[in-house]
Structure 1
Amino acid sequence: MRGGRRGRGRPPVRLGPVGLGLVVVLLGAGAAVAWQGGGTGESGATTTADVLPASPGAPSPEPSSPKPPPPPPSSSPSASAGGEPAEEKSSEAPRVPASGPGTFTTARAHGDPVGEGPLRRYRVQVENGVDISAKEAAAEIERILDHPRGWAAHGRGSFQLVSTNADFVIRIATPATADKLCGAQGLDTHGELNCETVDGVVVNLRRWVLGSPTFDGPASEYRHLIINHEVGHEIGLRTHLGCSGPGRLAPVMMQQIKGLDGCESNAWPYDENGKYITGPEL
């Protein structure tokens, strides 16, 4: 979110000497000379996005009486320690539309098969009216399925991104549309969850964009968990798993959004040594 607009303050204006008065006071043999002058100025904070040029104007009149110098600028979130303006950052999360038209755009993309085992071709669709490119989402999903800790790297199957003649579809949908698609399979996703349907995977847009409050990592990494979990169902892993012990990695087939039960959040089916991360069946 862009911060509020600020204008640039006028640069300091220095007033030249307005006169030279000589007052001679005879105090014995000495004399004093007094020079009268002064200046005032202000500097306003700016942002790098909005910079307004200072408008020319007439110089301010000389003050009738001396004024104390302006106080030093106070520290604020908009100014850095070096005195330069710092970019304001918003703490607000990205906005996710609650519903959409229920129609989808298919990514026009075609990839090479990755992995070993039975080939499963998939296409990626994104609901119309949301600020996500179907092509970029497809490229991200392709990278997830090609990860060395993913399903394809350990013989669970091979995957190929296509735009037609797919074996299953991965849809990214607004919460209302996701609920409708999942509800048609008898699944109650409460505007929050993802699901697997008879024709593929439904990804809740809110989870794709915002991640999960129970996942210790950025939303971009939580997307890996979404895809790996739902594609795990696609390749035949029907049962959800639980935590195998406090401090251990949570299985990717665990519904981690519902809680970790002492496990550490994890987005991959296999650990760094290629061992499948499992747990008790639920």
Structure 2
Amino acid sequence: MGGAVALLARDDVPARAEAPRRTPVTSSPAPAPSGPTASASPSATPSATPSSSPPREIQVPPEGPGTFTGARIGGEPQGEGRIRRYKVEVEDGIDLDPDEAARAVSAILGGPRGWTRDTAYGFQLVPSGPADFTVRVATPGTTDRLCFVTTPSSKGNVNCRVEHSVVVNLKLWVQGSPQFDGPIEDYRALIINHEVGHEIGRGHETCPGPGQPAPAMMQQIKGLRGCTANAWPYDSQGRYLAGPFVP
């Protein structure tokens, strides 16, 4: 995130960003569901790590073909609110298995400090069929195209939510940010919680006061303003970590 604009929702770009862009972004047909399903129960800790396997190195190509393959797995509904169905797709040519990415996203969205802590929200990972939104993991170059990035200093360094797509920059997913003081799993949680927060209608917030956790909806890349880095919408007691609304 240092010097990057890692948590922009791209609602700060011209209104044309809200219109579909005719870029070659297509999804390969998802095979029938197979393999283990994503966990539907919240994890016991706020960590978003989907497994205890040691981390492996993932290469980050600067550009990809702009086509995507969907995860084959689905999961049970998570949360008590209106269920939003979502898919997870990974750009072709990336050394990241779509099912692996889907498990990570599912663990974040169903985590005990995630959005499902509020009974208004619910999510369900689906491998095919209708979906309310899609989470796409893409190379930096493809992310720039989908997020309508034109500012040179921002190129290769953003995630975004455009239309009903949450676009996750592979570079930030793999390398994290020097501005975020925490494990890479928590930084990934911040990406998903922030951008999916926009998908469920949440706007930007700012620091509520020195020494307090930064809201998940704060653009923490622009500076913490005295707050401490934080990836989650809620604390361990279920209290929403709010900050003043940013118009």
What TM-score do you get using the length of structure 1 for normalisation? 0.64
- Deviation track 1:127-160 (CA, whole Å, cap 9, x = no partner) reads 1111111001101111111111111122131100
After TM superposition, give the deviation of residue 187 of structure 1 in Å: 9.2
After TM superposition, give the deviation of residue 180 of structure 1 in Å: 0.2
Q: Confirm whether residue 156 of structure 1 aligns to residue 114 of structure 2.
A: no
After TM superposition, give the deviation of residue 263 of structure 1 in Å: 0.8
Match of 1:206 in 2: 171
Q: Confirm whether residue 100 of structure 1 aligns to residue 64 of structure 2.
A: yes
Match of 1:217 in 2: 182
Secondary structure at the aligned position of 1:263 is classed as coil
Letter in 2 for 1:141: V
Superposition pairs of residues 253-268 of structure 1, within 5 angstroms: 253-268=217-232
Contact persistence 2:143–2:167 (CA under 8 A) = yes
Q: Confirm whether residue 145 of structure 1 aligns to residue 112 of structure 2.
A: no
Unaligned runs of 5+ in 1: 1-92
After TM superposition, give the deviation of residue 95 of structure 1 in Å: 4.5
Secondary structure at the aligned position of 2:228 is classed as coil
- Deviation track 1:219-276 (CA, whole Å, cap 9, x = no partner) reads 1210001111111111111x21111111110000001122212111001000111111
- Going from structure 1 to structure 2, the CA distance change for 1:246 and 1:94 (only over 3 Å counts) comes to farther
- Aligned sequence identity (%): 56
Q: Confirm whether residue 197 of structure 1 aligns to residue 188 of structure 2.
A: no
Tell me the number of residue pairs that the alignment of Structure 1 and Structure 2 aligns.
188
Letter in 1 for 2:102: A
Secondary structure at the aligned position of 1:119 is classed as strand
Instruction: Tell me how far apart the structure 1 counterparts of residues 139 and 109 of structure 2 sit (CA, whole Å).
Output: 23
Instruction: Tell me how far apart the structure 1 counterparts of residues 151 and 208 of structure 2 sit (CA, whole Å).
Output: 26
Letter in 2 for 1:110: G
After TM superposition, give the deviation of residue 94 of structure 1 in Å: 6.1
Name the Cα RMSD after superposition.
1.8
Match of 1:118 in 2: 82
- Deviation track 1:92-121 (CA, whole Å, cap 9, x = no partner) reads x96421111111110011100010111100
What TM-score do you get using the length of structure 2 for normalisation? 0.72
Between 1 and 2, higher relative CO (CA 8 Å, sep ≥ 6) is seen in 2
Instruction: Tell me how far apart the structure 2 counterparts of residues 209 and 101 of structure 1 sit (CA, whole Å).
Output: 19
Unaligned runs of 5+ in 2: 1-56
Instruction: Tell me how far apart the structure 2 counterparts of residues 97 and 114 of structure 1 sit (CA, whole Å).
Output: 33
Instruction: Tell me how far apart the structure 2 counterparts of residues 116 and 138 of structure 1 sit (CA, whole Å).
Output: 20
Superposition pairs of residues 38-57 of structure 1, within 5 angstroms: none
Contact persistence 1:214–1:260 (CA under 8 A) = no
Letter in 1 for 2:205: L
Moved over 2 A (4+): 186-190
